[in-house]
Structure 1
Amino acid sequence: MTSAPLLLLLLAAVRAADLGPTSDFEFLRDPAYLFTFGDSYTSENWDWGNQPNPIEDHKRVTWCNGPTWARNLSRQYTSNTLVNYAVGGATIDNSVVHNWDIVLDLQGQVRAFEKHFAGGNSPWVASSSGPQAPWNSSNALFALEFGTNDVWSSFRGTPRQKRLNQTESELQTELAWHLLDAAERLRLAGARAFAFVTVLPFDRARLGVSAGPEEQLHLRESLRSFNEVVGGKMERWCRAEGLFCVTVDTYSLAQRIMRDPVSYGFKEAFDYCEPYTYRYSVEPDEYVDPRCLGPVREYLWRDGVHPSYGFHELWAALFRDTIERELNRRTDAVKDEVFRLQNPPDRRIRPRP
């Protein structure tokens, strides 16, 4: 039997072996705060131009005709505050790639966070215009969902790319660095737990199909490449900084649904029904238009590029499951390492028979 002091030494050795202090992140099973940054897939229509802080009450609108994945996820936790900085049309950095309408990019969203919620782990000092959010490193999860607008606005090439004689691969690498730069600013503010969301395979949605076979194929390759580049750099950064990080693979989830939509509760996985594109709701829209196959949740796509709230429900479930699996993996790794340290192999040289 291992004594208590020896067990403590063993656990210290485990942590020194870069397996990470698993218990420090157990709060992620039920975090108190969820900070989200992203585009219209995540946005609830925060009026960033007139309302400095998204935690204040504002008219919420989504592009999925129901609750977004972030709202679904927040509601699954016991007592969670969702602080949603996402803005429709946003890219990672407008100076590198911007949408047709220049809106608050990831860099601007993080600046807004720094203005209202940064300051180490101390509670945000409330202003006259808003309440305080007492988040800290041990109760907050940060999620970044970007790339849809970046890829769509750049896969054909941009004027800046041509001016710099920059390849698409070089551009995606630059975007990945800008994304991690924003994440690093969040880390310096106290964030220790991150979730990065992959870009959906919208090359198979109506937007991608309408581009034509050749451009659709190029778009598909661009999406895969973007996810790989960002994922690789994120993983290395997280490991170097000793953070808790996961990749929420919505790309693969959507691919599985499109292979077998019925098993996931969808009647249509590629096209959409136009009447639903004119409807906006933050709660499940159960209206059934007679021209459609069923309610909007039975369509994977609400329009040519945005998934319906039916997909967002699965997205939220995937998000939580991904967090749980990583926490369990870390716990198992610690147990395995403790067992290995308690039971070293017998290295004595035995005489030959």
Structure 2
Amino acid sequence: MRNVHSDVDEGDVPVGSEQAGAWQNPVEHLGALTDLATPFAVRVAATLGVAEQLAAGVQDLDALAIAVGADAGALGRLLRYLTHRDVFTEDKEGFFDLTDTGRLLIARGDDGQRNWLDLEGLGGRMDLAYTGLLHSIRTGEAAYATVYGASLWQELDADADSRRYFDDLMLSQQLRTAPQVADLYDWQQVSAVVDIGGGSGGLLAEVLLRHPHLRGVLVDLPNAPGVARRTFAERGVQDRAEIVAGNFFEQLPAGSDVYVVSRALSDWPDQAASTILRRCGDAAGAEGRILIVEVLPTDPQVPYATAFDLQMLVTVGGRERTLADFEALAATAGLAVTRTLRGADGLVLLECACGSS
């Protein structure tokens, strides 16, 4: 899982950058770091769909308030606050419009952020799990259940809308990652591949599409097959893709050449992540390979320079890791890293084989 709307959250000052010394006044710096009004104001505007209405030409405050179902006076205060932060503009006649930043609050398009920022959707709920950060820091555990009464995984199993949003989010990430995975790795030496926790099937579908000699198996929980089956059909690889209901903490289908674990280990603490890799190693045996696919948000990687590390902690109890961390994690599972391949935008592939623990 990846926070896709930004690698640097509101108020972040990148470690080691010139911006670190940009604040001459410590009081102003602390104020920027602790501001809650701006993040919530942006999310409320996104939730109401203000940007869509402005883009459609509804720019008068009273008409806009009716269109989004808000109190006109309160909405005006919100819009003017965000106008001073270059999200919206207001002309002399009192008509509002979008800045380039404001256009990102429109749901459609590759850069659309509304669905993630919507406080009534899963993206907003995941962000609001930060209210449990104190619990996570005190215990080292996820706080999502302390905020909402159930873990994120339990919520996804229980709520179809949340599951649909999460599957779409994962598929969008897979579609950006999959072409590189299909190109970087030497698939010509492989005949059968298993995608562990493959979810929506985007990665496996791309690999099979690019390499027609391959056959693949997607292993995920019982609620995943519907989306994956549709993905395989849309990409025309359904005849070479099998879906198996399973749990990557338990026994996996044995005997394939390569077992892919793509962007899943960051969702789990070390002990659980090690178990996932050990199950892959058990299934791969001495002749098979395990391919860890991850995206490192900075290069050279500084895990604590972005919000992703804390988001993984508070939401699911996971963590960001360096390449050295992944190598150490593989060793705890009885695996040894045999090759490291680097792609664009922080993508890294670590090929592992059964070795001594």
TM-score when normalising by structure 1: 0.26
More strand by share: 2
TM-score when normalising by structure 2: 0.26
- Structure having greater relative contact order (Cα 8 Å, sep ≥ 6): 1
